[in-house]
A and B are shown apart, each in its own frame.
Chain A
Amino acid sequence: MNPKRSNQIATGTIFGLVVIVVLILIGLIGYILFNGVPNISWHFITAEAQAFSAGGGIRDQLFNSLYLLILTLLISFPIALGAGIYLSEYASDNWITNVIRTMIEVLSSLPSVVVGLFGYLLFVIKFGFGFSILAGAIALTFFNLPLLTRQIEESLRTVPNLQREAGMSLGLSSWKTVTGIILPAALPGIITGIILCAGRVFGEAAALIYTAGQSAPVVDYLNFNPLSPTSFLNPMRPAETLAVHIWKLNTEGVTPDAHQISSGASAVLIIVILIFNLGARALGSYTYRKMTATK
């Protein structure tokens, strides 16, 4: 077989594989959107869920998902950032660092059900949080930390060492070099990490069933006191998220329109993830341009 022919075959095979991936993606997303979008209406997004009768919405579940996402990121991002900076900039290359890195990798392949049960036993039961957004957010932090830490570490590592030397040669401390030069340059990678994690948080159900609970209590969206039990901001209230809601509708849903609601909710879930994705990227690239003066 001559080189030209074998190159053609290889290119063709690779192209075919890409087509398979794209077709699966388009098929999945298309199916969800095709079935779901007709069920989405203003009423659907703003109405409370109904337990027995038709016509329920997903208002509380949608808000819970978003709130949980924000809380999780608030807890996990600073920790992951610190750990990522340590691993990439300060940790010396020895067996302890390697052990830490291996443990992080092992933790990242932990099944989410296990994380959920662990969160249930420790936070819900032992610490007495009860089913709560906070317990869910901490469980999801465990779930997310390994991925986010690795992603931040990797994006810091891709910044060339020359930049660190330049900072050092100007009499800047490592800390000032990292915060002022390396972090801004690594921003796009860090944003990608946040987006990946956000997708996981938003779509996670198993870990939340045991921690944030399966009920969406009636809350008052005008009560801004996070300590009040009826406030929508109260982190100690149970909170059924969109993904959990979908799971529940499909396993024990008794409303006559369970299927429609579940389809609509799935579509909303995908659309919100998409919006978050694009929004985070836009914000990230705006900040990056601001900081680096690139066009």
Chain B
Amino acid sequence: MKNYNLDETYIINPQEESALSAKQVTVSYGTNHVIHAADLNFPRYKITSLIGASGSGKSTYLRCFNRMNDKIATVGGQIMYRDTDINNPKINVYELRRHIGMVFQRPNPFAKSIRENLTFALKKNGMTDKNELEMRLETSLKGVALWDEVKDKLDQSALALSGGQAQRLCIARSIAMQPDILLLDEPASALDPISTAKLEETLKTLSDQFSIIIVTHNMQQASRISDYTAFLHMGHVIEYDETENVFTNPHVRATEDYISGNFG
């Protein structure tokens, strides 16, 4: 692999209102530092992609934002959400995760009915009103364009859905909590091209109501759907800019090599 100067970076500060801003975030497993002082401002109601090679730390970085690294790794620095540092150990993580939802690489519906998949967490969080639960169910499924496909089998097992449907169900499950921010960790990597296209369309629509941060392997995907793109390499944020600029006019050599396929 070529050696790049990891201090050579180009990071912009978007003008829009910020949904989340990471300051000096570091992640380490014991003495092994995997993320180094990454600063990023994620704008509200936009889609931001995190791209980079395998092992560049993009997923680990993403998982800091709803504290999914707790008990696994040590996360330093500040992550500001609505004037609160959510990296503070005193933060109620359960409450936080209702504001910042996450969708994973492999679709992971619960072994329950489609209806229960969406309403289970709501009910556990104390929502008892049947009408409201029904309404959340319907709007969430419509939000991911799954309603028409499943409305007649809401009481059947979610495990019978296809991969693409299951992944959209998982997104619906997250948005049913009415979060502010959606974190997606390579949500399309286990899907076929048609399901991927549908998923991307869904994400585009959802960005009207949610701020979305998505980790992806697929550079075409990043350029198709995201407004901003951050390129990570060896735990460093190398470049962060509007997506168009990153792909047409990258400032840093490492970024240019990565997007043109000359990397490594």
Contacts and interface: CB of A to CB of B under 8 A. Distances in A.
B124 A168 contact: no
B120 A162 contact: no
Interface string A260-293: 0000000000000000000000000000000111
Contact of B95 (A167, A171, A184, A294): A171
Contacts of A172: 94, 121, 124-125
B101 A163 contact: no
A287 to B, nearest CB: 13
Contact of A185 (B104, B111, B160): B111
A171 B95 CA distance: 6
Contacts of B38: none
Interface string A40-63: 000000000000000000000000
Contact of A165 (B95, B108, B111): B108
Contacts of B48: none
Interface in A180-200: 180-181, 184-185
A170 interface: yes
A176 B116 contact: no
B170 interface: yes
B159 interface: yes
Given A169-B102, A170-B174, A172-B121, A292 B97 contact: no
Nearest to B107: A162
A171 B177 contact: yes
Given A293-B112, A294-B111, A171 B104 contact: no
Given A171-B94, A172-B124, A176-B124, A291 B112 contact: yes
Q: Is the interface of A mostly helix, strand, loop or mixed?
A: helix
A185 B103 CA distance: 20
A169 B174 contact: yes
B41 to A, nearest CB: 23
B56 interface: no
Nearest to A92: B71
B66 interface: yes
B259 to A, nearest CB: 30
A70 interface: no
Contact of B113 (A162, A167, A293): A293
A176 B155 CA distance: 22
B156 interface: yes
A166 interface: yes
7 contacts: A162-B104, A163-B111, A170-B121, A171-B177, A181-B110, A184-B111, A294-B111
A268 B24 CA distance: 72
Interface in B87-144: 93-98, 101-104, 106, 108-114, 116, 120-121, 124-125
Interface string B7-24: 000000000000000000
B196 interface: no
A171 B97 contact: yes
B44 interface: no
B106 A162 contact: yes
Contacts of B157: 292-295
A173 interface: yes
Contacts of B66: 169
A191 to B, nearest CB: 15
Given A180-B120, A293-B116, A293-B155, A169 B97 contact: yes
B173 interface: yes
B197 interface: no
B101 A169 contact: yes
B6 interface: no
Most chain B beta-carbon neighbours within 10 Å: one of A167, A180, A184, A293: A293
